[in-house]
Amino acid sequence: MILVGRNLSPFVRRSAIVLKTLGMDFEPKGLSTADDTDEIMKINPVGRVPSLILEDGETIVDSQAIIDHALEVGDPDNRLLAASGAERRAVLRISAIAQGAMEKAVASSYERNRRPKDKVYTGWVEQVDAQNASALASLDAMARAGGEWIHGGHMTLADINAAVAYDFVGIAEPYLVKDDAYPALAALSQRCNALPAFAETQWKG
């Protein structure tokens, strides 16, 4: 299998972490959305990463669909996401909030970095940054209330999403996480990053 995209993208990284955690081998293909647009468009008509190209050539686009496939094939005991009920809903809720933080960080970063400086709409940046800060505060409160993991007694998809979101904000919007603004979330990220799947996918620039 080939995972298309760089681990700078939180959507690529969370896909890579899930695959690695489940012991599913893949080869990374580190295409950049800024520099390799034509090649990415041939793989995903929307021109986004990640995509996962399976051994028979079938291509799965979007991290949600990649993770859904990985869980279906590689997590028969439903360790990362319970099959049903309140446990599943709780993990999906935390994951959705973390995904929202990733999306807001990407939106803020594109506004600040991809537009000509005189066309940056600071009111929009302030709005998405405030939404992101609220999402991070919510994850931090849940991490504080949880034990070693953000929900339940073992690492789940919720921890993967929360840690990846926090790490990405640290890269894309360091001003949002300065002064240890979210200490419980930072500690969760640190615990996660001690695991090989996280350590091996850290973005080194």
Residues that bind ligand GSH (CB under 6 A): 9, 11, 33, 47-50, 62-64, 106
CB nearer to ligand GSH: pick between 36 and 75 = 36
CB nearer to ligand GSH: pick between 11 and 198 = 11
Type and span of the H or E element at 29: strand 27-29
CB of residue 63 to ligand GSH, shortest distance in Å: 4
CB nearer to ligand GSH: pick between 58 and 148 = 58
* Dist. CA 145–CA 160, nearest whole Å: 17
Asked if 50 contacts 2 with a C-beta cutoff of 8 angstroms, the reply is: no
* Dist. CA 86–CA 83, nearest whole Å: 10
CB of residue 180 to ligand GSH, shortest distance in Å: 25
CB nearer to ligand GSH: pick between 11 and 182 = 11
Residues 6+ apart with CB under 8 A from 179: none
- Nearest residue to the partner ligand GSH, using Cβ: 48
CB of residue 67 to ligand GSH, shortest distance in Å: 9
Judge residue 20's burial from the number of C-beta atoms within 10 Å of its C-beta, 0-12 exposed, 13-18 middle, 19 or more buried.
Answer: buried
CB of residue 141 to ligand GSH, shortest distance in Å: 24
